[in-house]
């Protein structure tokens, strides 16, 4: 039995090893994230069966909650950790070949810290701890966005930093108020106490926390940093930001609103917000000429879809939302990775520069198409299963308002279909411009891309087990009493 | 061979073809033909079977299933038959082009997925196969890589996606309500559902089917897509692919809803079936007039596909055994005819260096007799000249419209036929008749593998025209599987209680007439064969090259109907898309690029939350 | 006796058609204050033409003409000639409508195959004109079929004979007038003589025809006049009890049209369609609406 603590501790330890390893070999530092992710992957596989049947609560230092800090490795947390490890693994392999400039050691260190932060957020059972891990995640991502030090990157990073800092400030303020009111930082304990009170005094911290976390979760209209940051970052970082960082933010929002505050009355509002986010993201992406910006805006849309599904708040829809989150991580990660090398080879981020890429980079183009079709939600790819689950559960919930909102969301996916197909067509069918350069992507890029593409197809063809696991995760998120009962003796 | 094996072979074989293509082009072509042939034969042998069974395959907790009855069988056989001929035609047509592995892979994938659509036993299987067809089709429409091909593909994709999203909502809502998607089970359960709900489901699903069947006002994607695709694929597209929308309509209207429920879906004269019938009628007339003003050989055929689809829906919406039989039979006939005509257009395109402009061709009858024969049979069939298959189905359609007392619908159908005569003749004349331009004087005959599908289809058109009882028995059985009575058939024709059609009489009369006149002419007249330029110019000196009349063939008519035959519905949809793009661009301006305003958004959001809570306290 | 009519009725129709052509020339001449050729002139011409040699433009050129004449002959088997209708039981009006296509279509194919632009122009004009008059004609036919609730032309004739002629009974009189207004266009007479305009396009589809070909074409022309008029007689004027009365009625109708022919100049195609799609169509539409509203 592996302790869930190791999911955070091992990557953190390896992160600290990086400077030491770096003294021996600069290249070897790149192996550290891979090692960490592999370890986490194995650990998750070992932990998952137990976590699915019964959440594992780890008491740090042996103090029982609510006095000590605890980790809560429920189905949701462990699955998330697995997803982080998986996406992290793909991206870190990719980075081996892609990141050649700048201080490579620093890159890998920051990258590992980012993963540590993400793992921490999804596993912790303590609000302040959540804030700390969240900061680790955010700060390392600020730095990574500006990693290449070019003008666009630095500008995006500083904008991201400003907005992120405002968000963190609001979050901290909210946590502070909560602590002042209830004298506890433990999530389960907070949940138990909030259940007995209500009104404005509870709402203000909730509003602060939602606004604060909403920035990282890219909820409209708090998401203005995202298009700049995701498009200017180095492609592997774009992939991890789109695939992991905003999802973790969304996880935090959902955990706080659903489990800690149990604010079911807010769900209708979040639903609207989700639908608005979908439309805003997809419409902005529609007119984009820059492929990475397009993908970044599309991430906003996808996050909106997840938020929408989560806030419908039925077991099926929450599971569907989580499934969508999974397929978005795989699909968008894949798209960013594929686009990364296409941009690298063609030297421009304009979509028109990708014309006829399929003849120059066949495998990269193929996986790009797989990712795009999956995001649009076409069979036999993962996105189809998640779309099916969301639409099905929303309709099962019923109601005119909900059906209309679903219609709006589906219009969003239609727009997404239009622009993503436009790119796929450009890659496959448009004539290669004269004098276009481009060679195949290196093995270090092809392997993770094929890995992700294979996963998309496998999940798309056999979504059953994934859906089952996610149903357990959904109940983890929705069932407050079980959560409290699991943590508090 | 069981149906499951055929499906497996279809999907697996497509992939295998692709892989084999990396090894040897010859092997790939051979496998493609064998696969298409094998599937066709295997499904042909399933004639008369009727079953519904689960597949050893599940998706998200739902078991997928297949079903077979005569309706499915008819569609399946036509799909696979057209697919087979299309593959054979492709062998020469596509030779020397790039990305053939991809081409054959997609063609066979579409073939298998279409088969899956029509033999699906539950709506989930149906939808999955439907979507597989949708996205693989766009990859084949755009394959040519010209700007128009790409925008045609995109237009198709967006419209198909919109349709299938509507369908998805309907299907999943059925699942949410009844907890099953199996077709027979749903058919039982829907009878007891509230009418408003049935209407909701019906409208959404019909929208999806109308888009694919390209009925007005959702026809906009079809002319572009058909014209820009490679001709062998245009045949598939026009003959069977768009008709999966028709299959969907049958499935929805007659299998799921059934006539009992349909009668309840009516509010006075405004009933579901009436609306569908009028959509069909509008499509018939509108498409006929649009086809008249086209100058591209494949575009004429594309509009013809739109219009003939209108006939099928029009007749099928009558909900009588004769009407539905007319619809199904017209689908069968037009599948053969459109495949044939697209093959002909493709053959001409192939031999004339890609010419599709009807103003640049002419006189090819002398150089391409096989293609001309095919074109004659095809055009006559589409018009519905007696002794071709199209005649019988159109007769049934008119007959059913008249005996149901629907003269205005019948008028639309008749008028559409006259439009067909005009554009059909234009197609025939501008390509094959008139003066042969000098630059085509050495055009070569159609190669064998392209001539074969043309000849096979020509033969079928004539055989089914003279012996309509053969296909009609399958059509009648398909009608029975949709819950209608069987037709009174003989090999030569059809008997209804208010009138009969007997093709053998017509055959005898026409043969006798032709023989008599021919005898008279051969017996008395003498003639010598002259060159095409040895003609009477009424005393005017005309340059040889310009002694031809093709440009603006129906000029005066075009000038009259031109202002009325604009494609307003399509313009509206395209305008909507443009408008969306503009609005999106305006929306994007929200992201000003100035970080101060971004922070302002965050704070405003927070302030708004708190303000709302203070004022109305809706939360917590 | 029955079998005999299979041969007799096309023959009668053919002779009647040729006779009408002769009569037409005679009547036109008298209207023009000329003496005119004898009534049998077309027959004499045909015999003469068969003795000449002619140029052929290929198999389709020949076959189109043969098909055209054969189709026109066959159609006479379906149209009641008074009380005689040998093949009335094979699909009714719908088949007649379609069989009526064979004649013009064969002509169009033959004309197209002749590689002479005048022929092509003629065919294109003919088709456009047909589009023009079919619009009101179809409405009229539908009104008649709806009124009598049958697609059998024999039954239509019988019902008229039992009651009143269509053109003399209430809702159908509107349709009947519309029919009368388009009849010259159906027969291809002035002012609708756009397809075979001799002065403009050298007689259009017939431009390349000579010798036996012209003979066939003349026979077809005569037959098509007969068919157009006899359809009108059957549908609007109640047919007839015996062939003789029927032929008289047909003759009267044709003579009426000849007077129109003599008094008007030729329309352009646009003008022709503009006329046909305006008043006749509106009247025909009104007729159909009235028929549907008043029911049987």
* pLDDT tens track for B383-427: 988 889 999 999 899 989 988 888 899 999 999 999 999 999 999
Q: Which two tokens stand for residue B459?
A: 């033969």
Dump the DSSP string for B388-414.
SHHHHHHHHHHHHHHHTT-HHHHHHHH
Pairing of β B526-529 and β C53-56: parallel
Looking at the partner chain, which of B386, B434, B498 has a beta carbon nearest the beta carbon of C120? B434
Is the preceding omega at residue C191 within 30 degrees of 0, hence cis?
Answer: yes
Look at residue C1 and tell me whether its pLDDT is greater than 60. no
Q: Nearest residue of B to residue C113 by CA position?
A: B433
> In this structure, what token pair is assigned to residue C121?
């122009």
* Residue B543 confidence (pLDDT) above 80: no
Which pTM does this prediction carry?
0.92
- pLDDT surpasses 80 at B300: yes
Q: Any CB–CB contact under 8 A between A402 and chain B?
A: no
Contact status, residue B302 vs residue B226, Cβ threshold 8 Å: yes
User: Exposed/middle/buried for A54, CB within 10 Å: 0-12, 13-18, 19+?
Assistant: exposed
Q: Which residues fall within 8 angstroms of residue B56, CB to CB, at 6 or more apart? A: B4
Nearest CB to A396 within list B132, B162, B176: B176
Q: How many residues make up chain A in this entry?
A: 489
Q: Is C199 exposed, middle or buried (0-12, 13-18, 19+ CB in 10 A)?
A: exposed
Tell me what pLDDT residue B249 has. 92
CB contact under 8 A, C212 and B527: yes
Chain A residue numbers with beta carbons less than 8 Å from the beta carbon of B59 are: 385, 463-464
Cβ atoms C186, C195 nearer than 8 A = no
Is residue C172 within 8 A of residue C143, CB to CB? The reply is yes
User: Please, how many CA atoms are within 13 Å of residue B498, restricted to the half-sphere of its CB?
Assistant: 20
Residues of B in Cβ contact (< 8 Å) with A415: 580, 584
Contact yes or no for B501 and C91 at CB 8 A: yes
Q: Which of B60, B176, B606 sits opposite A464 (nearest CB)?
A: B60
CB C123 within 8 A of CB C104: no
**Touching status, chains A and C (3+ beta-carbon pairs under 8 Å):** no
Give ipTM to 2 decimals: 0.92
- Asked if A210 has any chain B CB less than 8 Å from its own CB, the reply is yes
- What pLDDT does A170 receive? 94
List the single residue in C with minimal CA-CA distance to B511.
C70
pLDDT in tens, A71-90: 888 889 999 999 999 999 99
Q: Are residues B602 and A210, on separate chains, in Cβ contact within 8 Å?
A: no
pLDDT tens track for A362-393: 899 999 999 999 999 998 899 999 999 999 99
Candidates A395, A466, A467, partner chain B, best to mutate (most B CBs within 10 A): A395
B270/chain C closest Cα distance in angstroms: 18
Mutation for A interface: B131, B161, B171, most A CBs within 10 A = B161
Q: What is the DSSP letter of B52?
A: E
Residue A389: closest C-alpha in chain B: B60
Closest CA relative to residue B221, chosen from B245, B253, B190: B245
Higher pLDDT, B510 or A322: A322
Q: Does A385 touch chain B (CB under 8 A)?
A: yes
Backbone angles phi, psi at B68, to 5 degrees: -140, 130
For tokens 């806030």, the residue is: A311
Contacts of B371 in chain C (CB under 8 A): none
Chains that touch C (3 or more CB pairs under 8 A): B
**Could you say which DSSP state residue B257 is in?**
I
pLDDT at B604: 92
Best of B99, B200, B595, B596 to disrupt the A interface by mutation (most A CBs within 10 Å)? B595
Q: Please name the member of A167, A280, A463 whose beta carbon is closest to the beta carbon of B60.
A: A463
At B277-289, the pLDDT tens digits run: 999 999 999 999 8
Report the pLDDT value the prediction gives residue A196, as an integer from 0 to 100.
65
Name the neighbours of B, counting chains with at least 3 Cβ pairs within 8 A.
Answer: A, C
Window 117-176 of B: residues touching C by CB (8 A cutoff) are none
Chain B partners of C54 at a C-beta cutoff of 8 Å?
525-528
Q: What is the mean pLDDT of residues B436-455?
A: 88
Q: Which of B88, B37, B229 is nearest to B152 (CA)?
A: B229
Q: Decide if B431 contacts B364 (C-beta within 8 A).
A: yes
Taking a C-beta distance cutoff of 8 angstroms, is the pair B472, B330 a contact?
Answer: no
* Eight-class DSSP state of A427: H
Q: Cβ(B301)–Cβ(B235) under 8 Å?
A: no
Who among C77, C97, C131 is closest to B509 (CB)?
Answer: C77
More confident residue, B531 or A414: A414
Residues in chain B closer than 8 A to C268 (CB atoms): 556
| Residue-level pLDDT at B262 | 85
Q: Name residue, tokens 């994709």.
A: B157
- The reply to whether residue A414 touches residue B172, judged by beta carbons under 8 angstroms, is no
To 10 degrees, what angle do helices B407-432 and B389-403 make? 160
Average pLDDT over residues C231-235: 88
Q: How many CB pairs below 8 Å do chains A and B form together?
A: 171
Q: Does A319 touch chain B (CB under 8 A)?
A: no
Please state the separation of Cα B18 from the chain's center in Å: 27
In a mutagenesis test of the B interface, which of C3, C79, C85, C131 is the best target, namely the one with the most B β-carbons within 10 Å?
Answer: C131
The C-alpha of C181 sits at a distance from chain B's nearest C-alpha, in angstroms, of 19
pLDDT tens for each residue of A4-53: 888 898 999 998 888 888 888 877 888 889 999 999 999 999 998 888 88
Q: Do B176 and A395 touch (CB under 8 A)?
A: yes
Residue B264 reports pLDDT greater than 60: yes
């Amino acid at each position: 039995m592996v302790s869930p603590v190791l999911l955070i501790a091992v990557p953190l330890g390896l992160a600290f090893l990086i400077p030491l390893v770096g003294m021996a070999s600069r290249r070897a530092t790149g192996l550290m994230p891979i090692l960490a992710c592999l370890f986490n992957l194995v650990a998750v596989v070992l932990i998952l069966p137990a976590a699915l049947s019964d959440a594992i609560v780890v008491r740090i230092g042996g103090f029982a909650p609510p006095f000590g800090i605890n980790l809560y490795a429920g189905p949701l947390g462990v699955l998330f950790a697995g997803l982080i490890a998986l996406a992290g693994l793909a991206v870190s392999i990719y980075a081996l070949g892609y990141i050649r400039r700048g201080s490579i050691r620093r890159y890998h260190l920051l990258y590992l810290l980012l993963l540590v932060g993400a793992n921490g957020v999804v596993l912790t059972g303590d609000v302040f701890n959540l804030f700390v891990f969240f900061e680790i995640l955010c700060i390392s991502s600020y730095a990574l966005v500006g990693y290449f030090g070019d003008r666009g990157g630095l500008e995006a990073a500083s904008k991201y930093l400003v907005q992120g800092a405002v968000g963190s400030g609001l979050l901290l303020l909210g946590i502070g108020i909560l602590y002042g009111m209830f004298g506890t930082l433990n999530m389960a304990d907070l949940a138990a106490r909030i259940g007995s009170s209500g009104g404005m005094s509870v709402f203000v911290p909730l509003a602060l926390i939602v606004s604060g976390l909403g920035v990282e979760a890219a909820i409209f209209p708090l998401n203005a940093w995202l298009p700049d940051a995701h498009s200017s970052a180095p492609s592997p970082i774009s992939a991890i930001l789109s695939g992991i960082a905003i999802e973790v933010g969304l996880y935090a929002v959902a955990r706080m609103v659903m489990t800690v505050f149990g604010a079911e009355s807010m769900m209708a509002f979040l639903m609207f917000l989700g639908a608005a986010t979908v439309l805003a993201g997809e419409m902005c992406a529609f007119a984009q000429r820059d492929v990475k910006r397009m993908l970044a805006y599309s991430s906003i849309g996808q996050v909106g879809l997840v938020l929408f599904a989560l806030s419908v708040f039925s077991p099926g829809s929450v599971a569907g939302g989580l499934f969508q989150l999974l397929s978005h991580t795989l699909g968008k990660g894949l798209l960013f990775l594929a686009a990364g090398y296409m941009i690298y080879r063609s030297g421009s981020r304009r979509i028109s520069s990708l014309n006829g890429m399929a003849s120059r980079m066949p495998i990269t183009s193929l996986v790009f198409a797989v990712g795009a079709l999956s995001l649009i939600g076409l069979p036999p790819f993962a996105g189809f299963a998640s779309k099916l689950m969301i639409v099905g559960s929303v309709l099962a919930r019923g109601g005119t308002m909900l059906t209309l909102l679903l219609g709006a969301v589906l219009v969003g996916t239609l727009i997404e279909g239009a622009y993503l197909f436009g790119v796929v067509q450009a890659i496959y069918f448009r004539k290669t411009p004269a004098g276009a350069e481009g060679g195949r992507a290196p093995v270090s890029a092809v392997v993770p891309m094929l890995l992700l593409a294979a996963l998309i197809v496998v999940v798309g063809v056999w979504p059953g087990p994934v859906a089952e696991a996610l149903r357990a995760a959904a109940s983890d998120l929705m069932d407050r009493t079980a959560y409290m009962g699991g943590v508090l003796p | 061979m069981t149906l499951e094996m055929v499906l497996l072979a279809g999907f697996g074989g497509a992939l295998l073809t692709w892989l084999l293509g990396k090894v040897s082009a010859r092997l790939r072509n051979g496998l493609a033909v064998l696969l298409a042939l094998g599937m066709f034969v295997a499904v042909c042998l399933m004639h008369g079977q009727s079953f519904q069974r689960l597949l050893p395959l599940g998706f998200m907790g739902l078991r997928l299933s297949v079903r077979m009855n005569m309706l499915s069988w008819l569609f399946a056989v036509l799909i696979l038959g057209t697919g087979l001929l299309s593959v054979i035609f492709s062998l020469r047509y596509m030779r020397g082009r790039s990305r053939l592995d991809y081409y054959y892979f997609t063609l066979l994938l579409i073939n298998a997925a279409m088969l899956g659509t029509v033999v699906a036993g539950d709506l989930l299987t149906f939808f999955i196969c439907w979507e597989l067809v949708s996205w693989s089709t766009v990859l084949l429409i755009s394959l040519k890589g010209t700007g128009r091909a790409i925008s045609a593909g995109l237009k198709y994709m967006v419209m198909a996606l919109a349709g299938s999203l509507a369908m998805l909502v309907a299907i999943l809502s059925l699942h949410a309500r009844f907890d099953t998607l199996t077709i027979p089970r749903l058919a039982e359960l829907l009878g007891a559902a509230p009418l408003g709900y049935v209407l909701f489901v019906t409208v959404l699903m019909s929208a999806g089917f109308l888009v694919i069947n390209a009925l007005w006002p959702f026809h906009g994607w079809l002319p572009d897509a058909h014209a820009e695709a490679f001709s062998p694929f245009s045949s598939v597209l026009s003959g069977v692919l768009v008709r999966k929308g028709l299959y969907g309509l049958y499935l929805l209207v007659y299998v799921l809803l059934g006539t009992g429920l349909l009668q309840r879906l009516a509010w006075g004269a405004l009933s579901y079936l009436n609306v569908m019938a009028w959509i069909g009628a509008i499509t018939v007339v509108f498409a006929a007039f649009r086809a008249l003003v086209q100058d591209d050989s494949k575009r004429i055929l594309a509009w013809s596909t739109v219009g003939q689809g209108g006939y099928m829906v029009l007749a099928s919406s009558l909900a009588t055994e004769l009407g539905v039989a007319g619809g199904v039979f017209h689908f069968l006939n037009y599948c053969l005819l459109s495949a044939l005509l697209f093959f002909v257009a493709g053959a001409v395109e192939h031999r004339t260096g890609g010419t599709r402009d009807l103003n640049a061709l002419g006189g090819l009858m002398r150089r391409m007799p096989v293609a001309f024969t095919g074109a004659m049979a095809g055009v006559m069939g589409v018009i519905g000249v007696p002794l071709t298959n199209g005649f019988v189905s159109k007769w049934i359609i008119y007959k059913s419209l008249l005996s149901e007392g629907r003269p205005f619908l019948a008028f639309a159908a008749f008028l559409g036929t006259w439009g067909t005569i005009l554009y059909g003749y234009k197609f025939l004349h501008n390509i094959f008749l008139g003066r042969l331009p000098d630059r085509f004087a050495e055009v070569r005959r159609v190669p064998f593998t392209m001539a074969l599908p043309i000849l096979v289809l020509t033969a079928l058109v004539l055989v089914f025209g003279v012996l309509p009882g053969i296909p009609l028995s399958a059509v009648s059985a398909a009608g029975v599987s949709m819950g209608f009575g069987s037709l009174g058939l003989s090999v030569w024709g059809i008997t209804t209680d208010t009138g009969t059609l007997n093709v053998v009489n017509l055959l005898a009369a026409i043969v006798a007439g032709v023989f008599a006149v021919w005898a008279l002419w051969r017996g008395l007249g003498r003639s010598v064969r002259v060159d095409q330029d040895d003609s009477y110019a009424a005393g005017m000196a005309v340059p040889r090259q310009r002694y031809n009349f093709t440009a603006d063939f129906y000029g005066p008519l075009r000038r009259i109907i031109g202002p009325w035959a604009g494609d307003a519905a399509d313009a509206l949809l395209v305008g909507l898309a443009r408008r969306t793009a503009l609005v999106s661009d305006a929306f994007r301006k929200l992201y000003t690029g100035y970080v101060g305003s971004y922070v302002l958004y965050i704070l405003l959001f927070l302030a708004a939350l708190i303000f709302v809570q203070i004022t109305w306290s809706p939360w917590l | 006796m029955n079998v005999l009519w299979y041969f007799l009725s096309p023959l009668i129709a053919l002779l009647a058609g040729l006779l009408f052509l002769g009569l037409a020339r005679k009547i036109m001449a008298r209207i023009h204050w000329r003496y005119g050729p004898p009534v049998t002139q077309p027959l004499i011409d045909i015999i003469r033409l068969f003795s000449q040699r002619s140029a052929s433009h290929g198999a389709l050129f020949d076959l189109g003409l043969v098909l055209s004449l054969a189709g026109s002959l066959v159609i006479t088997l379906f149209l009641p000639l008074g009380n005689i209708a040998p093949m009335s039981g094979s699909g009714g009006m719908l088949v007649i409508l379609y069989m009526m296509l064979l004649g013009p279509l064969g002509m169009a194919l033959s004309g197209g195959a002749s590689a002479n632009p005048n022929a092509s122009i003629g065919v294109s004009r003919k088709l456009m004109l047909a589009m023009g008059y079919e619009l009101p004609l179809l409405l009229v036919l539908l009104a008649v079929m709806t009124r009598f609730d049958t697609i059998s032309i024999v039954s239509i004739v019988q019902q008229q004979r039992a009651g009143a002629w269509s053109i003399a009974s209430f809702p159908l009189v509107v349709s009947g007038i519309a029919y009368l207004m388009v009849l010259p266009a159906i027969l291809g007479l002035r002012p609708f003589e756009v397809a075979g305009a001799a002065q403009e396009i050298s007689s259009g589809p017939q431009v390349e025809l000579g010798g036996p070909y012209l003979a066939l074409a003349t026979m077809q022309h005569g037959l098509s006049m007969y068919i157009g008029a006899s359809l009108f007689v059957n549908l609007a004027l109640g047919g007839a009890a015996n062939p003789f009365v029927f032929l008289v009625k047909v003759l009267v109708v044709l003579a009426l049209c000849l007077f129109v022919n003599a008094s008007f100049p030729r329309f352009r195609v646009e003008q022709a369609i503009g006329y046909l799609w305006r008043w006749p169509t509106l009247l025909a539409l009104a007729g159909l609406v009235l028929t549907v509203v008043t029911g049987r």
